[in-house]
Amino acid sequence: MKPNSKVLILTAKYGNGHVQVAKTLEEKCKELGFKKVIVCNLYSESFPVFSEITQYLYLKSFSIGKQFYRLFYYGVDKMYNKRLMNLYFIMGHKRLHQIVTSEQPDMIINTFPMIVVPEYRRKTGTVIPTFNVLTDFCLHRIWVHENIDKYYVATNHVKEKLLQLGIHPNRIKVTGIPIRKQFELEMDLNPIYHKYGLDPSKKTLLIMAGAHGVLKNVKELCQAFLSKNKQLQIVVVCGNNHPLKESLDSLGKNYPQQFKVLSYVERVDELYRIASCMITKPGGITLTEATAIGVPIVLYKPVPGQEKENAHFFENNQSALIINQIEDICEEVHNLLMNDQKLLNMKHNIKKLNVPHSADMIVQDMIKESAYIKDKQVMVGSVNY
């Protein structure tokens, strides 16, 4: 298959990670000269109201619905069967058929587990090379289907899980998770310190507080951090959480040299580079970005499901600290920041998990695999003829 072909990228907005990976792969496909790249949020386009409601419930699961999401995540994993596949086939098959008919893509990339795609092949006989790009450091069975041609995964740990489910090793490639180019650049740190008004001689605690359910009582915790360590400077990124930013503005006025509060930051990689450690949620993309820069991670009370599984993977690899009690955060983070050797070890360990140039590796491999699948179809067709 030549790179000037058409590619269909399917994603879903349950968390920002799936969409972000889709965007990264879209940019890489365009860079490599694909004739057309179609990015589709299949469930939103098929069932907009249902999709909105379920996305809202997904976000709520990070605060008030943790046990519900735990039951859903692990329950679906255990109950995975043909009946469930039929349900997912119903969700989106009409819209998928419209796109396949009108656009005739040469390959399909899933950055969200779209069972409707491999089921579409099984039920219609239409063979389009189909690839799953897994966006976490764990495996859920909903990603797995006999009609997925290849899986691109973050680590050997995920590869082993797929092998245990009977997937042939030739259909799995460890590529890391695609992230934005900016995280793979080499940069001088001094201009970054100057840009954000920070002191290079002080430890910097980065708190990614805009994400849902990352941390409660952010203002009180920051106040405690600042009073406990006068040599510490804190940067809080609130994203689009405007009420949180407003509540923290007064703290910025009281500690102008030690405390910075920001809204959405386009070049957030700059803050990763100067962070001594970072408090964040264990989403697959955020963790991958941290591996690229090499920033030690603190994870507070991970939500049951993929984020908890991600957190345990990083903890087991001695690159993240999990804290489950809100009253322990201040002391444990302070102790970590004061332990230079532990920070250095965590930085080294998290960097070992990084797979550079993931997007390029994935798309180049997909081009080769698609060509092989197409050639195989031609050969089979010739034999049948």
| DSSP letter for each residue of 310-324 | HHHHHHHTTSEEEE-
Q: Is the pLDDT of residue 6 over 60?
A: yes
Residues whose CB is less than 8 angstroms from the CB of residue 344 and which lie 6 or more positions away in sequence, other chains included: none
Residues 208 and 343 in one domain: yes
Instruction: Output the pLDDT for position 177.
Output: 98
Residues 313 and 233 in one domain: yes
Stretch 108-116: mean pLDDT, rounded? 92
Residues 146 and 191 in one domain: no
Structural domain boundaries, residue 17: 6-176+356-384
Instruction: Output the pLDDT for position 368.
Output: 95
Number of domains making up the chain: 2
Stretch 177-205: mean pLDDT, rounded? 96
Residues 379 and 275 in one domain: no
Is 1 a domain residue? no
Residues 210 and 299 in one domain: yes
Residues 172 and 318 in one domain: no
Backbone angles phi, psi at 37, to 5 degrees: -120, 115
Residue type, 2: K
Residues 196 and 309 in one domain: yes
Instruction: Output the pLDDT for position 42.
Output: 82
Is 225 a domain residue? yes
Instruction: Name which of 193-197, 297-301, 372-376 the model is least confident about.
Output: 372-376
Measured distance CA(367)–CA(372) in Å, rounded: 9
362-381 confidence digits (pLDDT tens): 999 999 999 989 877 766 55
Neighbours of 130 (CB within 10 A): 26
Residues 114 and 26 in one domain: yes
Q: What is the CATH number of the domain that holds 139?
A: 3.40.50.2000
Instruction: Output the pLDDT for position 229.
Output: 84
User: What confidence category does residue 289 fall into, taking pLDDT thresholds of 50, 70 and 90?
Assistant: very high
Q: Which residue has the higher pLDDT, 212 or 325?
A: 325
Instruction: Name which of 7-16, 31-40, 103-112, 190-199 the model is least confident about.
Output: 7-16
Measured distance CA(55)–CA(61) in Å, rounded: 10
Q: Is the pLDDT of residue 57 over 90?
A: no
User: Tokens 């009370």 label which residue?
Assistant: 301
Residues 137 and 120 in one domain: yes
Residues 158 and 217 in one domain: no
Q: Which residue has the higher pLDDT, 84 or 296?
A: 296
Measured distance CA(151)–CA(134) in Å, rounded: 7
Q: What is the mean pLDDT of the chain?
A: 87
Q: Is the pLDDT of residue 165 over 90?
A: yes
Is 147 a domain residue? yes
Is 205 a domain residue? yes
Residues 10 and 93 in one domain: yes
- Sheet hosting strand 36-41, strand order edge to edge: 36-41, 6-11, 107-110, 130-133, 150-153, 172-174
Q: Is the pLDDT of residue 66 over 70?
A: no
At how many degrees (to 10) do helices 358-384 and 17-31 cross?
Answer: 70
Is 29 a domain residue? yes
User: What confidence category does residue 14 fall into, taking pLDDT thresholds of 50, 70 and 90?
Assistant: confident
Residues 301 and 324 in one domain: yes
Is 115 a domain residue? yes
Neighbours of 332 (CB within 10 A): 15
- pTM beyond cutoff 0.85: yes
Burial of 223 (0-12, 13-18, 19+ CB in 10 A): middle
Is 15 a domain residue? yes
Percent of the chain past pLDDT 90, that is, above it, reads: 61
DSSP 303: P
Q: Are 157 and 355 in contact, with CB atoms under 8 Å apart?
A: no
Measured distance CA(237)–CA(208) in Å, rounded: 5
